[in-house]
Amino acid sequence: MTVRVLIVDDQAVVRAGFAAIVGAEPDLDVVAEAADGARAVELAAELAPDVVLMDIRMPGMDGLTATRLLTGRADAPRVLVLTTFDQDAYVHDALRAGASGFLLKDAEPDELLTGIRVVACGDGMLAPTVTRRLIDTFARTAAPTAPDTAPLESLTPREREVLSLVAAGLANAEIAESLGVTVGTVKSHVNALLAKLGLRDRVQATIFAYDTGLARPRGTG
């Protein structure tokens, strides 16, 4: 199956670079490019891409607004946000808007390609080294003062434990090693907790864990 990709960035040279990397892969197809959020929304409606590479800071409609519009559709594509860590303090807003993950703009080509394939398969792109820094920023900015823990009651103790490790940015193999179980068992727990909570992927699960107080930023006890 070929993954159809829409590239959105206000810089032509950046779009061209991403298009060259993505277009060289036999299982990926760049269906269009857009220079702003409004055009991205139009093209997505017309071409139905599977994945949208979305810049945040653009003139006119920004990537955050476009992401919210795109992910609110019944046939929503997966959105992979491209960001610069030192500048985009509101990455958590993109995640809340429905983005399936994020990458730094200076990510290696292999990381970009992996990100596209991961979100296209229905998972969230939470690369450990980048994620742990960004999720800490997200949590410090967005963690509620009085978390609602009621939704956690539907989870088993083991599912809560797995969820907390997902929120810490651990991959399935790392969770399996930590808990002394198989990767397949971890996958089963992740699928079960996502289904119980009505969540789409690991990104939403991470946000949920912070919103309910199950996970906390480093240094907050």
Does one domain contain both 114 and 184?
no
Over residues 13-36, the pLDDT tens digits come to: 999 999 999 999 999 999 999 999
Look at residue 157 and tell me if it is in a domain. yes
Whether residue 105 is contained in a domain is answered as yes
Residue finishing a domain among 62, 97, 125: 125
In this structure, is residue 137 part of a structural domain? no
Span 130-153, pLDDT tens digits = 555 556 665 565 555 555 677 888
What's the domain count of the chain? 2
Distance CA(166)–CA(140), nearest Å, equals: 17
Taking only the tens place, the pLDDT of each residue in 62-111 is 999 999 999 888 788 999 988 776 555 566 677 778 888 888 888 889 98
Task: Give the CATH number, domain containing residue 197.
Answer: 1.10.10.10
Report the alpha-carbon angle 12-15-21, nearest 5.
140
Domain region containing 205: 145-211
**Distance in angstroms (rounded) separating the CA atoms of residues 147 and 166:** 19
Q: Is the pLDDT of residue 221 over 50?
A: no
More confident of the two residues 116 and 217: 116
pTM beyond 0.85: no
